[in-house]
Each structure stands twice: as structure tokens, then as C-alpha cells.
Amino acid sequence: MMTKPILEKLAKEYDGKVQFMPVNADESRDVLEQFKVYGIPTVITLRDGKEVGRVTGAQSESGYRAMFEALAEGKEVKVPLTSFDRMLRLGAGAVFMIMGIATDNWLVAGIGGIIAFMGVYDRCPIWQAVTGMFKKRA
């Protein structure tokens, strides 16, 4: 999956609503340090000079589109989990939980629960309420 053509296409679609500024990592080390970029590709979304979203690693066009759309509409920037990512997290979590329970290792079972939760956290209203409270305080 080629990230650059997708981002350039979206930049044209959202021209006038979202400003797209590609940065060459090899030529702009100071920018990488300023924004603490440790992986490539990294897409950082800024609103009024403040970071409101970040995604590291190649995403699908729909993931990047969600970021552009949220920025254009002034909404919170979120990149939705793909079905594959969601199922991978749920499956890996289930394996860890089963292994932990089978061996009476509750630490492994607990880690499995956390991994599985990472597959559904974006749909959990309690998690959204708790994180919303922390965002308001910050």
C-alpha cells in the first residue's frame, strides 16, 4: 500500500479545508525531533497549532480519509480500526486468556483481557465517558 499517492489524492479533495504539508524525513530531522516522530510514515493532524491526532504506519485510504474529514469538519480526529485489526486483537486476546486460565496464570489471562479490550475499546461507552472526562481536564 503506497501512502503518498493516497495522501496527495485526499489533499486535492480537501483543498481549502485541510492544509496538507508532506515532510521528507531524510531532509527534515529537526521536524521529526520537534514532533517526536519515531516511525515512518507518520501522519500528524494539527488544529490551531496543537496536535489533535497521530497515526504511525501505513493505513487504508478510508483511515486517512477519516482523518481528513474530521479535520475539515472540526471534529475529533480518530482513525477507525479495520476489521482485520479488530479481529486480530480479539483473537490474540482470547488465546492469551485461554492460556492463562488453563495454566492458572492470571497475569497472562489479564494481559489477554487487555489485548482483547484493545479490539473493542472504541465502541465501549464507559471507556469513552472516562477518557472524555480526562480530555476535558487537560
Same domain, 8 and 69: yes
The larger pLDDT score, comparing residue 77 to residue 16, is at 16
Structural domain of 116:
83-137
Same domain, 56 and 88: no
pLDDT (tens digit per residue) in 48-63: 888 888 888 888 888 8
pLDDT (tens digit per residue) in 81-136: 888 889 999 999 999 999 999 999 999 999 999 999 999 998 888 988 888 888 77
1 pLDDT band, cuts 50/70/90, is low
Same domain, 19 and 69: yes
The confidence score (pLDDT) of residue 110 equals: 97
The confidence score (pLDDT) of residue 51 equals: 84
Q: What is the mean pLDDT of residues 68-85?
A: 84
Locate cell 529537526: which residue?
30
How many Å apart are CA 128 and CA 119, to the nearest integer?
A: 14
Whether the predicted model's global pTM rises above the 0.75 cut: no
CA nearest 61: which of 124, 9, 99, 113?
A: 9
CATH, residue 59 = 3.40.30.10
C-alpha cell at 63: 483511515
